[in-house]
Structure 1
Amino acid sequence: MTAPLRVLSLYEGFFAGGARVLHTDVVAGLHGLPGLHGGTQHHRVLSIAARARREATVQRMAEDPRCRRLVAAGVEVRNLGRTAGDTPLGPEAFSTRQLRRAAALIGQADVVVSLKEQPLGLLLALRERGMMPAVPVAVSLHRSDPGHAGPARDWLADAARTGLVSTAIACAESTRDAYREVLGDGVPTHVVANGIDTERFRPGTMPERAAIRRSLGIPADAPVVLFAARFDAMKNPGLFLRAVAAHSQRRPDTHYLMCGAGMSEANAALRAACGEAGVAASSRIHALGIRDDMPNLHRIADIVALTSAFGEASPLCLIEGAASGATPITTAVGDAARVVEGFGVVTAHDPIEIAGAWDRVLAARPVLRHRALAARPRLSRERMIEEYRLAIESLAVRVPLAA
């Protein structure tokens, strides 16, 4: 009989974002999953923060749907009680008590997986004080521009150079390529493309779609463009709003949904961005903020839009929308063009071009909806979870139990 493989995932915190959605899918999918050599994987999570102040919102771990999902799956989730903000906590920010708690949890693991590079500040602090257990560390990477990771980029470079990080798991080829210089030659990198739960993200029935539209005040036959992104320069909401301003002049029946952290009328910066783009307040502009019902929104969308300026690697919203029947229209960032090949559209960072692409897609919806739905098998998360399992198990030293 083989002992369970004990895996501890480190989160900077629980707040809205695609990387946390994806990693939570991985942890919940692997917890209790049989391994190659017998036994199972047993997962736990340590979050540095108990709450996050980001994009004009306060997001509490206990209320986060990703945290709740892990708990429901039987995964133990603990935290160090800190507050996450725009800048990750560096090695100097942790108290001795917090480091002792972290060291105890890490010492009970066979493998540690850091969700992105930001939690590495904690591991460097442990190493500097001689408190870091001898446990292999993998870091999962989800950007295509490490330069925008702030000080965490240097923490990753230090951890790679000194052997603290044993391997990296990149969500896209653009991520692997972008981090090659940071990681150097001593850290192998696995590319595991993103996948989603296609049982959650599926086309809606006619009654479902009608009910969702009614709840938002959207007519049954009105076109819908969905922008699922936090209010952040990386997502370039100003470009999206300028495209809305151009498109709404041509198609005044279209409704535009904006959801994510900071995408609410309570955010003064969003109100200012609307004014600058020439987007007037209208019943057709829906600023919905953080939503826990994203599958519903994707089911009524004709288009899922992404206007990001930088940083994206393999955006989840594009495949979530496609699996639900929407057509992804994206700027050329990260692996986006590769992700939507065959069922989506790639544009320049130009509002007129983007609005024109929206027009063309709306004119050809039946054909393009069929293409998106035909891609569902390759968007599923089962392949992703299996590849993560193999990457994690390759780091572990298995210890047989006494008969």
Structure 2
Amino acid sequence: MNRSIRVLSLYEGFFAGGARILHTDLIAGLHNAGEQQHDVLSIASAVRRDSTVQHLRRDPRYVRLAASGVGVTSLGRTGGVEAPAPSTYTDRQLRMASNLVGRADVILSLKEQPLGLLLALRKRGLMPDRPVAACLHRSDPTHSGSALSWLSEAAASGLLTAEISCARSTSDAYQPYLSPATGRFVIGNGIDTDRFRPGTEGERAAMRRTLGVPPAAPVIVFAARFDLMKDPGLFLRSVALHSAQRPETHYLVCGAGMTRENDAFRALLDESGVTDATNLHALGIRDDMPEIYRIADIVALTSAFGEASPLCLLEGAASGATPVTTDVGDSALTVDGIGFVTTHEATAIAPTWTDVLARRPELRERSIAARARFGRDRMIAEYAAILRGLVDNRRAAA
């Protein structure tokens, strides 16, 4: 086959989150390499999540894809916390989806939620015969709601050809819900190390001025959406303990719902013991995370469950920060040799932050020396090979 293969990615919607950031970077890289032609079908054009409404055309992931020449089509729905059930799609939406699927050689489902759309197509006799791979990014399938049953149904029926996990913990967690015939692959996450890099003195000074952070103040960054999985309460309790000992430290909280306009976030602030004297910057969704990571001394993760291979740890470390994380998913493996793993207790996290700040020059050099292992080129090449194999195998069996 001489022509480039055509790949359609299914998104539940466009909203802030590591899986969407990673997948967008992946398909933009594959598309720009010239051997594959990528398009996206988004089920929703706007999504209500994490106390925010996030619109497709304003989303940085959409902007990135459009700039890369990747076509994006939406079914025009409004998404929420739960993915739409197969029975809720209209005839018009199914015809539109069937047409797009039919133009592709292979389908990538970003996580398991969009599989409900493919099941709806199959029930109506509108699902073309195409290989389908689910790109999985969690280590706790039971928190996926009804979408987990859609994954199992798709695997049992043969609709799902393969799963591609971003971490070994993810692949192991999903294995019981798959058919023995389902192909299984693990491709570790990678990032754009040209974007996520240590800053120059001038860049760091400019960002500190922008955020109101003094030149020599320690900085701890928490990049996460406002969600139980991320356990923002644990992070804030750790801030309360740490700031009592290191009051000069500044804490930058970034992500959907991480603003004082969110009533639930304000309630957590009150419960945690964080006071007005604490240098806490609740920044919400940011489009300048590379610049923020460049001024970080520590990138913190306090997740309770669900993580696989968290991007924030890679992005922060590639920028020179030291990752400090709870032990969830492949986080411990991710920070091996450059960071620290703690228990899920503020009394363990706050002292670890203090120890890291005391060893900052040494630990910064460790992170910078490990940058080569974070790059995305390997990830893109491995995905390209798997997609080509799925298409070739289907054609050989036809």
TM over 0.5: yes
Post-superposition offset of 1:280: 1.4
Q: TM-score, normalised by structure 1?
A: 0.97
The CA distance in 2 between the partners of 1:282 and 1:5, in whole Å, is 57
Native 8 Å contact 1:2 1:399 kept in 2:
no
SS at the partner of 1:8?
strand
Candidates 318, 338, 343, aligned match of 2:338: 343
The CA distance in 1 between the partners of 2:276 and 2:291, in whole Å, is 24
Residue 328 of structure 1 is matched in structure 2 by 323
Residue 313 of structure 1 is matched in structure 2 by 308
The CA distance in 2 between the partners of 1:4 and 1:143, in whole Å, is 31
Q: Which amino acid aligns with 1:127?
A: R
Residue 234 of structure 1 is matched in structure 2 by 229
The C-alpha deviation readout for 1:265-308, integer Å capped at 9, x for no partner, is 11000000010001113461100000000001100000000000
Residue 99 of structure 1 is matched in structure 2 by 94
The CA distance in 2 between the partners of 1:56 and 1:32, in whole Å, is 35
Residue 197 of structure 1 is matched in structure 2 by 192
Candidates 167, 181, 204, aligned match of 1:209: 204
SS at the partner of 1:271?
helix
Q: Which amino acid aligns with 1:18?
A: G
The CA distance in 2 between the partners of 1:308 and 1:282, in whole Å, is 26
Q: Which amino acid aligns with 1:156?
A: L
The CA distance in 2 between the partners of 1:4 and 1:373, in whole Å, is 37
Question: Aligned residues, how many?
Answer: 395
Residue 81 of structure 1 is matched in structure 2 by 76
The CA distance in 1 between the partners of 2:394 and 2:113, in whole Å, is 31
Instruction: Confirm or deny that 1:276 pairs with 2:271.
Output: yes
Residue 129 of structure 1 is matched in structure 2 by 124
Q: Which amino acid aligns with 1:385?
A: I
The CA distance in 2 between the partners of 1:284 and 1:214, in whole Å, is 14
The CA distance in 1 between the partners of 2:30 and 2:322, in whole Å, is 30
Post-superposition offset of 1:33: 2.4
Correspondences of 1:18-57 after superposition (within 5 Å): 18-34=18-34, 40-57=35-52
Instruction: Confirm or deny that 1:222 pairs with 2:209.
Output: no
Native 8 Å contact 1:94 1:122 kept in 2:
yes
Cα distance, 1:279–1:399 mapped onto 2, change above 3 Å: closer
The C-alpha deviation readout for 1:69-102, integer Å capped at 9, x for no partner, is 0000000000000111110101011000000000
Structure 2, gaps ≥5 residues long = none
The C-alpha deviation readout for 1:95-153, integer Å capped at 9, x for no partner, is 00000000000000000000000001100100111110111100000000000000000
Q: Which amino acid aligns with 2:59?
A: D
- Work out the percentage of aligned pairs sharing the same amino acid: 61
Instruction: Confirm or deny that 1:59 pairs with 2:54.
Output: yes
Correspondences of 1:380-395 after superposition (within 5 Å): 380-395=375-390
Native 8 Å contact 1:24 1:66 kept in 2:
yes
The CA distance in 1 between the partners of 2:325 and 2:179, in whole Å, is 31
Post-superposition offset of 1:32: 4.2
Q: TM-score, normalised by structure 2?
A: 0.98
The CA distance in 2 between the partners of 1:61 and 1:114, in whole Å, is 18
Residue 366 of structure 1 is matched in structure 2 by 361
Residue 157 of structure 1 is matched in structure 2 by 152
SS at the partner of 1:238?
helix
Instruction: Confirm or deny that 1:168 pairs with 2:173.
Output: no
SS at the partner of 1:246?
helix
Post-superposition offset of 1:398: 8.8
SS at the partner of 1:396?
helix
Structure 1, gaps ≥5 residues long = 35-39
Q: Which amino acid aligns with 2:13?
A: G
Residue 292 of structure 1 is matched in structure 2 by 287
Q: Which amino acid aligns with 1:6?
A: R
Instruction: Confirm or deny that 1:110 pairs with 2:108.
Output: no
Native 8 Å contact 1:3 1:398 kept in 2:
no
The CA distance in 2 between the partners of 1:18 and 1:83, in whole Å, is 21
What is the RMSD computed on CA atoms of the aligned residues? Answer: 1.2
The CA distance in 1 between the partners of 2:68 and 2:290, in whole Å, is 20
Residue 8 of structure 1 is matched in structure 2 by 8
Residue 37 of structure 1 is matched in structure 2 by none
Cα distance, 1:399–1:244 mapped onto 2, change above 3 Å: closer
Q: Which amino acid aligns with 1:66?
A: R
Q: Which amino acid aligns with 2:170?
A: T
The CA distance in 1 between the partners of 2:296 and 2:363, in whole Å, is 13
The C-alpha deviation readout for 1:337-367, integer Å capped at 9, x for no partner, is 0000000100000001100100000000001
Post-superposition offset of 1:3: 1.8
Post-superposition offset of 1:397: 3.4
Native 8 Å contact 1:110 1:397 kept in 2:
no
The C-alpha deviation readout for 1:199-228, integer Å capped at 9, x for no partner, is 000000001100000011100000000000
Native 8 Å contact 2:243 2:278 kept in 1:
no
Cα distance, 1:32–1:206 mapped onto 2, change above 3 Å: closer
